[in-house]
Amino acid sequence: MTGFYRDGICNTGAGDIGAHVVCAQLTEEFLAFTKSRGNDLSTPMPMFDFPGLKPGDRWCLCASRWKEALDAGVAPPVILSATHASALEYASLDELKQYALDEA
């Protein structure tokens, strides 16, 4: 279900205004952080067929939100092999590698 286009990968295109390109493994700290910024990812929304996310789930995050979380010290780990190259417009490869669970 993950990905802006719900195709299972962090693909992007013209319709993806938020650049959902960073594949992350969510943490409790990040979920609380993004909720405090107005994007509640943990509450289920059945009307959108959205089950809500929990720590350990993998999700394609907006690159700008991941960078914001990085700057706040709460960035979740990244799966580089599933992260789109356009994430480099928001964060450096070194920053992403510092949080990588894998090697791209």
Kindly report the CA angle at 23 between 49 and 87, in degrees rounded to 5? 120
Per residue in 29-53, pLDDT tens?
999 999 999 999 999 999 988 889 9
pLDDT at 103 over 80: no
Find, among 91, 50, 44, 37, the residue nearest to 24 by Cα.
91
- Higher per-residue confidence, 15 vs 88: 88
Question: According to the model, what pLDDT value does residue 65 have?
Answer: 97
The H or E element containing residue 18 is: none
Question: According to the model, what pLDDT value does residue 1 have?
Answer: 53
CATH class held by domain 20-99: alpha beta
Where exactly are the structural domains of the chain? Answer: 20-99
Q: What is the CB neighbour count within 10 angstroms for residue 19?
A: 21
Contact 35, 42 (CB under 8 A): yes
d(CA 16, CA 22): 13
Find, among 26, 30, 12, 16, the residue nearest to 69 by Cα.
30
Per residue in 58-93, pLDDT tens?
999 999 999 999 999 999 999 999 999 999 999 999
Question: According to the model, what pLDDT value does residue 27 have?
Answer: 98
